[in-house]
Structure 1
Amino acid sequence: MIEVRFQRGLYLPEPDLWLDPYDAQPWAFVSHAHADHFARHEMALCSTVTAALVRSRYGIAESRLLPASFHTTVERNGFRLRMLPAGHIAGSAMLHVTRIADGSTLLYTGDFKVRKGRTAEPVVFQQADLLILETTFGLPQFNFPSPMEVESAVLRFVHDALADGEVPVLLGYSLGKAQEALALLTEHGIPTLLHPNVADMTVACREAGVPGLPEPLILDGTPVPAGHAVIAPPNAVRSKLLRALGNRRVAMLSGWAMTPGASFRYRVDEAIPLSDHADYPGLLECIQRVRPKKILTVHGYTREFAAELRLRGQEAWSATGNDQMELALAPPSARGFLTGSGIQTTASARHVRPICALADFTSLCRLTGETSSRLEKIRHLAAYLKGLVSDEDLARAANWLTGRALPRAADRRAVFTGGATLRRALLKLPGAREERYREISISQADAARTTRLLLQELPLKPEPLDLAGLAAFFEQLASSPGSLARIDLLASRLRTLHPAEGETLVKLLTGDLRIGLKEGLVEDAVAEAFGAEPTSVRHAHMLTGDLGETARLARHKRLEEASLRPLVPIKVMLASPMPDAASLVAALAERNDGNPLWLEPKYDGIRAQLHKQGDQAALFSRDLRPLDAEFPELLAAALELPGDFILDGEIIAYAEGRRLTFHDLQTRLGRLSTAQGDLFSGPSNSQSQSSSSLPPVRFIAFDLLWHAEQSLLHHPLKERRQLLENSALRIPHSALIVPIAVAHLPPDADAVQAAFKLARADGNEGLIAKAPNSPYSPGRRGKGWLKLKTSTTLDCVVVAAEQGHGKRAEVLSDYTFAVRDASNGQLRIVGKAYSGLTDAEIEDLTEHFKRHTLSTERRKHIVEPNLVLEIAFDSIQPSKRHDSGLAMRFPRIHAIRRDKTAADIDTLQYAWSLVDA
């Protein structure tokens, strides 16, 4: 090992180098520009950003600084020195030291943070034999909330203060936390005044190239303008400048907010755990990623954390040497940690996290979830995927990163676990108590977090698990004969997992990793990992229906082998909405070249694909969900037709010689809670109905995508329709109508408007106009297909749900909904509605929104935008009430669109087109 001494600072005698010493030294490494890590050394090695900040803050001459870029090497006395980003504040660095003679290595972390911030370079770890680890928050109680929760707390504090006519004041160190808070508020459009000390450091950070910081607005004693926040250092809280504010509301930003009585101790209104240090899980993650042979702890709870590591079987000591004379340690069952309120025992500390492939996957998910930058997410994912050795592990990981436990193409069974199943599995674990489970579950409102927190308190024996083992478990779980067997299997597996991996398992089983990943982003990561074009990866994935298979093809440069095939769904081609007949005719003028318009009815049904290959048939919704259980008669009808095919069409309710409405179809769709009701289950028994009570349905085909061993996607529409009309598929069947009727009208707005009125009178939603020469473009909403429908509804996604009043006081019955701004992809609120649903539907939605709550604000739940409602309204007008600039008059819920996803909602631009309608 490289020798380390502690002499009012850390000293490496062989390279004659000090590490963040308290006193001025001839040659020292300075990890960052905070005052407690800097002294006026004769020569200081530091990062280029730290050098700029030190010069600005302390007036140090350039001749006494040796700035170096991250990852570059400096040689000294037979040692290679390399700085790595520490993630603490802007410019903060770790130092990796290698002895050239024998390759022995050391990593000094300095102050560091695992979670990615807005103004500091993300942390980078490197393996080392000896790890000198900063342990400011080295007790298990310091398990910080997720970044999203912390940021929501900051924004809620600011908005609440402004709403009450008070000035929100955030206290954070002038260098570091102040800039993090400023970047957060700036990102959300909140103007901010800075204390002069904070302003000076912000100017220095801007000059050093730190991103996300605006030109400072300085707090100068004049009245604070309405709508502005203030950021100041903690020591200024009782300064004349802040006392002059009068009606202020103050929050302290500090990791010490996790300790009891923090608000009282700091004498502030609120303490929020925004920290620039690693929390307890972050310290453990650092150790896992560095994999040292020996650990020295510095700063904070050095003895307590080192003692815990020794109980885990690692050689670890406080760098100050005050624990190395211990003669004995308490047994694991009796150990505790000294806190402000006395000795605190913890069961979570017993869990030694195995080094295994699943732990690496979990660490990737955490790192990705805490990264706000899309490009950074892609880089993290690409590096991980590229590093997987086997094609099998690559395929598994690629699919799991989209939250799918089993690949869609390989297994069309539902892959969800519900609260009842998970609760029963957790309560089968030794030491689990139902009252404790209920307490955690209510506080978290999240199955995965509940699992992690409960497992932390139980006497588990974590074992290593590779990706193949987890995949085998998913297969075993999916094929289990009943709910009791599934509960036993899940309990047995959770018993052998570290709490962090248990959380990952539950996230996969519930179908959402909650780390900000969508399929498109993982597709881009696959492309970057294997040097492929993102468009080629997306096209291949669209055809295979399996991101794992697509990743394998990309690795071996064989993306061109991907092909459309039956029983594997693809995204449907979409029609762009038009506000009126004249706009529709004008939009098709160029593509149609004066030819008659091709018009089809737009039915009030469910868009679906009908597949057949040999003796198998399948039915898929527009979001690629299997509909086999809901419409078995359509599968039976498809099997009676000759040949193999993929049809695109619409499912409608049809009885007594007439078409019914979408509301009639809803009884055929599984209740919203079905997919969440039990593990790997289809519709539950409670949802099943006799065939006599279900409205009859028909599948109306309007396109042929695959036939006679050939993909027809690139064929023009008129050729696809000719093949459809000339094929044996025209054989009439009571449940199938092939093909849909087509009207050919002159390109005249009056003729189209007349046809639209006729379609509406016939019970349809409107019209679809198609260019006869258009290829089939899966998942795209281009100008080849246009739709004209009644302008009194919008497809919106719910972003918030509130408790109702009176008899609805116990349910979430008031829904705030949004459309998407096509210019930047942001969701913009257009209204709020609470009428139009039955009590049973409201109960279903309440359970859904509670499972998908991101945060709560008194009676309001901010929810994941994953449920689409069709909203009817009398008119829509410009308004400052919502961030869309629009408001609906008399909005009401027309339908729950379970057949649509957030990707299918209407755009803000389309909503604006309806203002004068």
Structure 2
Amino acid sequence: MKLSRVVEASSAVTATRSRKKKTEELGALLGDASVDEIPTVVAWLSGVIPQGRLGVGWRSLVALELPPATDPTLTVAGVDDLLTRLSTATGPGSVARRRALLDELFGSATESEQDLLRRLMTGELRQGALAGVMVDAIASASGQPLDLVRRAHMLTGSLAETASLAVHGGTQALSDVGLRVGRAVAPMLATPADSLADAVTSLGPDLVVDFKLDGARIQVHRRGDEVSVFTRTLRDITDAVPDLVAVIRELPCETVILDGETLTLDADGRPRPFQDTMSRFGSAGDLGDDPAGVLRPFFFDCLHLDGVDLIDRPLRDRLAALTSVAPGLRIPSVTDPSVAQAQQHFDAALAAGHEGVMVKSLAGPYAAGRRGKGWQKVKPVHTLDLVVLAAEWGSGRRTGFLSNLHLGARDPDGGPPVMVGKTFKGLTDALLQWQTDEFGRHETHRDSYTVYLRPELVVEIELDGVQRSSRYPGGVALRFARVVRYRPDKTAAEADTIDAIRAKLP
């Protein structure tokens, strides 16, 4: 299959909001692919590179200015092979080898193929081919029952593996998929609650309220002395976290799968900044003599214990298993609270430096890989008034519209605004049209991707928090930023300052 066929399907998927049409387009694409190409195509259109990290930075890709090829010649197999060579280019001379491979790839790609490859390799292939839609497409292309395909995906945690099972093995292969100690399971996700009272009322009275820690999601597996630790994205980080491995090996069991969070704590037992925890995931596992770098595990679910799968059992049973094997590692929680008691627990979580709480029904099973009403998260809302510095042209359904905003905070010393992040979240069709019409009146210059503006427009941004970051000049970055509204009633001189944002650092 040629890469141009993938580009064609990608464009069609991004151009529609209809789930049915997305599924039809993806199903047709998979139907055209060979059985060996399907896993790769599924991974790409889900925004995943099977090879993992390629060793190529965002700036290197943006700086590529190779003239596009006239005719599409690249194939799925050829590109996959080149990405493998790119990911394995290490050691002396690797920078030059990577550059040569990038030149070979992008020099052979048409303009639309270059765009897809650049977005795939920078993690910005946002086109609506989400897991649920892709699962539907796999079922359609393979002719297998949707429920069977969906469960296989939940238990393997991999769309590409699920596609291979459906196409190569059929119903029997999908039916044989089960919970397996050592293989990561797609994590159950939570739905944001309108309010704490609404969550307690809708899920009560048989519920539990957990602290929502300001840490990193982990899933740990143990069989005997063999321990594996996975991230939320199912990346294996076992070698980087020997402190977590040591704790799990001490548990009184033979086999177990636990779901929880990990974080580093300061001397007072308060959570250290989120990025301090995340930095450990990329380390070699050498803690040195710094006790502040030690990761502490806290768990809120147990999916398997000593040969018994619990994933389909109610949360009540899973928590009983968790308490029996790791009582000292339970996330702080209260069971069957009133709204007032839940509020006290929420206040205690914030006072301890955490994000908020999770409200969960004790009757529900573990809906792996799905976001359901059985788990609801409650966090305080933070907003900032920031200056729009630039906007990038959108792609897919947003082609022709200015979309991704560059955001700046006011310099209290009177200098130019300081960039603190980007976002395209929360933009309605009306706002996209308004931005595209309005920004030209404030433009200073542009390049092929971005229109740069005079610092005049103020936008209200909702965010989950602030963290330290070397990516932006201000040394901070916004977590999960999204547009609330523009503030024509405010000038750039009234925007929030970089000092005010830094003061929000944990």
For the criterion TM > 0.5, the same-fold answer is yes
| Structure 2 residue 420 is matched with structure 1 residue 813 | yes
| Structure 2 residue 362 is matched with structure 1 residue 772 | yes
> Which letter does structure 2 place at the counterpart of 1:843?
P
Distance 1:552 1:381, change over 3 A: same
- For the 8 Å contact 1:603–1:765, the answer to whether it is kept is yes
What SS class does the counterpart of residue 607 from structure 1 fall into? strand
**Using the alignment, how far apart are the partners of 2:366 and 2:383 within structure 1?**
25
> Which letter does structure 2 place at the counterpart of 1:570?
A
- For the 8 Å contact 2:54–2:86, the answer to whether it is kept is no
Taking the TM superposition and a 5 Å limit, the aligned residue runs for 1:671-682 are: none
- For the 8 Å contact 2:220–2:228, the answer to whether it is kept is yes
Deviations 1:677-724 (A, max 9, x none): xxxxx8499xx9966284433101121113334432111112212222
> Which letter does structure 2 place at the counterpart of 1:739?
R
Taking the TM superposition and a 5 Å limit, the aligned residue runs for 1:796-875 are: 800-803=405-408, 809=416, 811-813=418-420, 831-832=460-461, 840=470, 842-843=472-473, 868-869=480-481
> Partner residue of 2:276?
667
- For the 8 Å contact 2:384–2:461, the answer to whether it is kept is no
Deviations 1:289-336 (A, max 9, x none): xxxxxxxxxxxxxxxxxxxxxxxxxxxxxxxxxxxxxxxxxxxxxxxx
Q: Which has the larger radius of gyration?
A: 1
- For the 8 Å contact 2:191–2:373, the answer to whether it is kept is yes
What SS class does the counterpart of residue 37 from structure 2 fall into? helix
Distance 1:711 1:605, change over 3 A: same
Distance 1:759 1:522, change over 3 A: closer
Going by fraction, where is helix more abundant, 1 or 2? 2
Taking the TM superposition and a 5 Å limit, the aligned residue runs for 1:101-180 are: none
**Using the alignment, how far apart are the partners of 2:3 and 2:13 within structure 1?**
15
Distance 1:524 1:470, change over 3 A: same
Distance 1:795 1:586, change over 3 A: farther
> Which letter does structure 2 place at the counterpart of 1:562?
V
Distance 1:668 1:399, change over 3 A: same
> Partner residue of 2:324?
726
What SS class does the counterpart of residue 396 from structure 1 fall into? helix
RMSD over aligned CA atoms reads: 4.8
- For the 8 Å contact 1:477–1:486, the answer to whether it is kept is no
Deviations 1:120-169 (A, max 9, x none): xxxxxxxxxxxxxxxxxxxxxxxxxxxxxxxxxxxxxxxxxxxxxxxxxx
**Using the alignment, how far apart are the partners of 2:358 and 2:20 within structure 1?**
38
**Using the alignment, how far apart are the partners of 1:579 and 1:632 within structure 2?**
38
- For the 8 Å contact 2:468–2:475, the answer to whether it is kept is no
> Partner residue of 2:453?
none
- For the 8 Å contact 1:652–1:660, the answer to whether it is kept is no
**Using the alignment, how far apart are the partners of 2:317 and 2:406 within structure 1?**
47
2:152 to 516, 540, 544: 540
TM-score (norm. length: structure 2) = 0.69
**Using the alignment, how far apart are the partners of 1:780 and 1:541 within structure 2?**
11
Deviations 1:864-883 (A, max 9, x none): xx961499xxxx9xx8959x
| Structure 2 residue 218 is matched with structure 1 residue 608 | yes
Distance 1:701 1:515, change over 3 A: closer
Deviations 1:186-234 (A, max 9, x none): xxxxxxxxxxxxxxxxxxxxxxxxxxxxxxxxxxxxxxxxxxxxxxxxx
What SS class does the counterpart of residue 564 from structure 1 fall into? coil
Distance 1:371 1:625, change over 3 A: same
Which range is displaced more, 559-568 or 511-520?
Answer: 511-520
Distance 1:792 1:518, change over 3 A: closer
> Which letter does structure 2 place at the counterpart of 1:832?
I
- For the 8 Å contact 1:544–1:562, the answer to whether it is kept is yes
| Structure 2 residue 295 is matched with structure 1 residue 697 | yes
Q: How much identity, in percent, do the aligned residues show?
A: 27
Shift of 1:632: 4.2
2:189 to 573, 581, 586: 573
Distance 1:483 1:808, change over 3 A: farther
- For the 8 Å contact 2:43–2:49, the answer to whether it is kept is yes
| Structure 2 residue 113 is matched with structure 1 residue 499 | no
- For the 8 Å contact 1:396–1:471, the answer to whether it is kept is yes
Distance 1:563 1:699, change over 3 A: same
| Structure 2 residue 94 is matched with structure 1 residue 485 | yes
**Using the alignment, how far apart are the partners of 2:363 and 2:201 within structure 1?**
17
- For the 8 Å contact 1:629–1:683, the answer to whether it is kept is no
Shift of 1:633: 2.2
- For the 8 Å contact 2:193–2:378, the answer to whether it is kept is yes
Distance 1:534 1:385, change over 3 A: same
Shift of 1:396: 1.6
Taking the TM superposition and a 5 Å limit, the aligned residue runs for 1:172-211 are: none
Deviations 1:259-309 (A, max 9, x none): xxxxxxxxxxxxxxxxxxxxxxxxxxxxxxxxxxxxxxxxxxxxxxxxxxx
1:511 to 102, 123, 128: 123
Distance 1:405 1:487, change over 3 A: farther
> Partner residue of 2:137?
525
**Using the alignment, how far apart are the partners of 1:544 and 1:836 within structure 2?**
33
> Partner residue of 1:716?
314
> Which letter does structure 2 place at the counterpart of 1:773?
A
> Partner residue of 1:185?
none
Shift of 1:820: 9.2
1:378 to 23, 29, 37: 23
What SS class does the counterpart of residue 668 from structure 1 fall into? helix
> Partner residue of 1:392?
36
Highest relative contact order (Cα 8 Å, sep 6+), 1 or 2?
2
Distance 1:726 1:537, change over 3 A: same
What SS class does the counterpart of residue 36 from structure 2 fall into? helix
**Using the alignment, how far apart are the partners of 2:347 and 2:282 within structure 1?**
38
| Structure 2 residue 268 is matched with structure 1 residue 652 | no
Taking the TM superposition and a 5 Å limit, the aligned residue runs for 1:438-449 are: 447=62
| Structure 2 residue 29 is matched with structure 1 residue 417 | no
Q: How many residues align?
A: 442
**Using the alignment, how far apart are the partners of 2:370 and 2:159 within structure 1?**
19
Distance 1:364 1:817, change over 3 A: closer
Distance 1:557 1:614, change over 3 A: same
> Partner residue of 1:472?
81
- For the 8 Å contact 2:116–2:125, the answer to whether it is kept is yes
Deviations 1:84-137 (A, max 9, x none): xxxxxxxxxxxxxxxxxxxxxxxxxxxxxxxxxxxxxxxxxxxxxxxxxxxxxx
> Partner residue of 2:166?
554
> Partner residue of 1:262?
none
> Which letter does structure 2 place at the counterpart of 1:393?
E
> Partner residue of 1:738?
329
- For the 8 Å contact 2:419–2:474, the answer to whether it is kept is no
Taking the TM superposition and a 5 Å limit, the aligned residue runs for 1:313-328 are: none
> Partner residue of 2:248?
638
| Structure 2 residue 19 is matched with structure 1 residue 357 | no
- For the 8 Å contact 2:24–2:137, the answer to whether it is kept is yes
**Using the alignment, how far apart are the partners of 1:724 and 1:839 within structure 2?**
36
Distance 1:635 1:575, change over 3 A: farther
